[in-house]
């Protein structure tokens, strides 16, 4: 079975500052890892994914994440926060069996 | 633009009503999903269809009845719902049986359901 842990439900960041969202996973098989973003009253949009190729993955809107097997982590970063980054962010893991396990999510607030 | 289309975007219904949520995808995906999402929570899996057959039912109450008429369409029939069923209902699809099936889901925009 797979699971992910996201700590800190609410994350406040100043505009222009680094965005860092932490995700740790547990998986009995080599995992596929995802970050999704959800804006208010919308569905989930894929930000980026790790599928066993490069460990540093670049996504949309300037986000990137690094897969670290030794730390079982897949943290999401963005060097400079923008007001439009205010949203809910979910980390998710799959064992390739069409069952995605989501973390509890991080609500990101950007302070002007 | 999402390639998974859900209708209606908003639905208000009474506890005695019968209504349906609809989902359509044209990406050739052979797995389709219904999720329920409460505010500030992650999506909760309800049903999975694989090759038009129900493969997963996460012990969902029978007042929710899924249907998959063909590989592109997915319906969720609603009957005698309770106020606590008010939520955002998300449809998703994923490729299945393909060489690189990572489990990635493609989501629609959701249907916001309010039960009075």
Q: Please tell me the distance from the alpha carbon of residue B68 to that of residue B50, in angstroms, as a whole number.
A: 10
Segment-wise mean pLDDT, segments of 10 residues, chain A, 112 residues: 90 97 91 94 93 90 95 97 97 82 96 96
Are A56 and A29 in contact by the 8 Å Cβ rule? The answer is no
Q: Please tell me the distance from the alpha carbon of residue B12 to that of residue A103, in angstroms, as a whole number.
A: 29
Q: Is A92 exposed, middle or buried (0-12, 13-18, 19+ CB in 10 A)?
A: buried
Q: Please tell me the distance from the alpha carbon of residue A107 to that of residue B87, in angstroms, as a whole number.
A: 18
Cβ separation A32–B104 shorter than 8 A: yes
pLDDT at B67: 97
Q: Which residues of B touch A107 (CB under 8 A)?
A: 40
pLDDT at A8: 81
Q: Please tell me the distance from the alpha carbon of residue B83 to that of residue B115, in angstroms, as a whole number.
A: 5
How sure is the predictor about B2, in pLDDT bands with cuts at 50, 70 and 90? low
pLDDT at B97: 59
pLDDT at A2: 86
Are A103 and A7 in contact by the 8 Å Cβ rule? The answer is no
Which residues on neighbouring strands pair with residue A93, listed in sequence order? A33, A101
- Report the residue of A44, A53, A59, A102 to disrupt the B interface, i.e. the one with the largest count of B CBs within 10 Å: A44
Cβ separation A100–B103 shorter than 8 A: yes
pLDDT digits (tens, 9 = 90+) for B10-67: 999 998 899 999 999 999 899 999 999 999 899 999 999 999 999 999 999 999 999 9
Q: Which residues of A touch B40 (CB under 8 A)?
A: 9, 88, 105, 107
pLDDT at A62: 96
Q: Is B59 exposed, middle or buried (0-12, 13-18, 19+ CB in 10 A)?
A: exposed
Residues 6+ apart with CB under 8 A from A69: none
Q: How far is A112 from chain B (nearest CA, A)?
A: 23
pLDDT at B7: 97
């Amino acid at each position: 079975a797979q699971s992910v842990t996201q700590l800190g439900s609410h994350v406040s960041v100043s505009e222009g500052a680094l965005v860092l969202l932490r995700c740790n996973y547990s998986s009995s098989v080599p995992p596929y890892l995802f970050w999704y973003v959800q804006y208010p009253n919308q569905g989930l949009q894929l930000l980026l994914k790790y599928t066993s190729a490069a460990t540093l993955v670049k996504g949309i809107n300037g986000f990137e994440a690094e897969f670290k097997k030794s730390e079982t982590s897949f943290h999401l970063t963005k060097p400079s926060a923008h007001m439009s980054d205010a949203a809910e962010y979910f980390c998710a893991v799959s064992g390739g069996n069409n069952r995605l396990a989501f973390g509890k999510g991080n609500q990101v607030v950007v302070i002007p | 633009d999402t390639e998974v289309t859900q209708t209606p975007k908003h639905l208000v219904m009474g506890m005695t009503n019968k209504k349906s949520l609809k989902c359509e995808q044209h990406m050739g995906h052979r797995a389709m999903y219904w999720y329920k999402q409460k505010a500030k929570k992650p999506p909760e899996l309800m049903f999975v269809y694989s090759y038009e057959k129900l493969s997963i039912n996460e012990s969902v109450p029978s007042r929710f009845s899924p249907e998959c008429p063909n590989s592109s369409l997915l319906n969720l029939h609603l009957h005698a719902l309770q106020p606590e069923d008010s939520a955002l209902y998300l449809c998703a699809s994923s490729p299945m049986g393909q060489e690189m099936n990572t489990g990635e889901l493609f989501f629609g925009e959701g249907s916001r359901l309010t039960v009075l």
